[in-house]
Structure 1
Amino acid sequence: MQLENYIKDLLYRYECVIVPEFGAFLTQRVSATINAGTNTFYPPKKAISFNEQIQQNDGLLAHYIADVEKIPFEIALEKIKKRVASIKSQLVEKEYISLENIGQIALNEDGKIIFEPFNNLNYLTDAFGLNQMVSPAITRETYKREIESIEEVIPLRITEEKRKSKPYFRYAAAAVLALGVSGFLGSKYYVNEIESHNQIAQESANTQLEHKIQEATFVIENPLPAVNLIVTKPVGSYHIIAGAFRVEENCDKVISNLKADGFNARKIGVNKYGLHQVVYDSYANREDAFKALNEIRNNYNPDAWVLVKNLD
């Protein structure tokens, strides 16, 4: 069985693909980057990593294999177990093992699995069709303006005779300056008057309000007893996703149905694709979350999955 092909298919859709008794392949979105040294533009992608500590079966991989090969869930689990045993035995004999379109794995000196991802395949569906691009370097020239050379070509000179022949320029400049000063002083006086008026009006309004408050009396003959409400806020960073919807009204219908089935369903906001997410419930403990996930997949929704995220 080519286990790599099934893992590859799931990496397009999910952020975590667990191989039971082996480890988990994790994906994380990486923004577009530019290599200034080579003038290369890289599109956004999903960076793949491997965590050997996550080995507990969440049923995702086995369910997918069972659906594709049309076999029972237990047989799919047995196939995964055999393939994992084969990979572990090969790791002991070989220097490394290559997983097609995913990466290569090897054992370090302590017998732990180390993983080096391949970059030949982009698992981010948003970046479909985008390839890396190399752009030629852009050369820029700085032009200096030589004032001296411009003056040599077009000399600007005002002779004494011309200034004397047109004295009205001097009077016009003086008039413009006088108008500017008077306008500035007048506008400043006008602004000060407005501020003074607003302050007086505000003080008067505050005084009237204080008198009305002091004169008012409130008598309640039969006061109602105080009611204390205790609101429990869902906590936990493990959320079992029931679905994601473009129209928010559809979320309310799904939540009503799930609550009728006994789930603590709710909305947890909008994801990066603009879809409103609905969860069956949230859990603080990872084991409780995946235990509930297996029960939901077996009895309600085989496409349910776990989102690991801290919500504000």
Structure 2
Amino acid sequence: MLLEHYISELLYRYNCVMVPGLGAFLTQMKSAVIHKTTNAFYPPSKAISFNEQVVTNDGLLVSYMADAEKTSYEEMLAKVTDATAEWKSRLQKGEKLVLENIGELKLNDAGKIRFQPHHNINYLTSSFGLSSFVSVPVNREVLKEEVEAIEEKIPFVFTPEKRKTRSLRPYLKYAAVGLLAISLGLTGYRFINDGLGNQQLAIEEAQEQVTKRIQEATFFDVEPLELSAISLDVLTPKAKIIKKKNLPTHHIVAGAFRFRENANKKIRQLKRRGYNSTYIGTNRHGLHMVNYESYTDVDKALKALKAVKRSQSKDAWLLSVK
């Protein structure tokens, strides 16, 4: 008969398991704990304690054991009394009493029973399946208040002026020229080895690749791009002009494209992301411009620009038209 085995089973169901002649094992709900130093997480559990002052037999342990071993209550009470008497005798001799999955009992210098619980089993049934673990610290980027204050003061202009921020995208044109030069150099090498016919083929392939890259590129000039006055014509099915509507004043520019079809492709992409993107015309360089949104209220436009620069593209900028 393993008395501690039955005590352990009852600790799952009850907050107090009294052992006749020895004392009572008590449990108390303990909340989840996160250790800040080790980043260890401990789930909710039951904390076990022992009170040797509670010695009155409540019949719970004896009845449970009698039912489990198919014997009478009186016979089981006698067995439990003998077992606890043996435990107390061992404690009096200075031995340490180790109860599996429960804890350790030992007498202190004052002759009182000292209990040290084990933590290998969680007796809280609602935390079944939850084990302790150590988490890797999560480093979060904190946006400084100084940066936010600067972003709140982003200037918008009615006339073109130099932008303070610079982008790597304007250098795409130079990279294309460099690619063409490299291609020409490789073509010269082929000409020596393969003849004039292979050289001409290599040049055409290189030019085709460079042209494709430039056509699909989004251009952000170093200064805001000027727009001429633009109006939209709303047509009926019979192609009669019924109304003219001016575009809003402030545009959050998403890019400028050499070909209109690339601008339309960009508009479809932005609409799928939830933006009310539109085509806002061509600039003085003949590039087709596309916006994220348009606003008549400048405060709303600045707020929206701030959100776009954070979540979509740092190259977005505000174009204001009188």
Q: Which has the higher helix share?
A: 1
TMscore range, shorter length: 0.3 to 0.5
TM-score scaled by length of structure 2: 0.46
TM-score scaled by length of structure 1: 0.47
Larger radius of gyration: 2
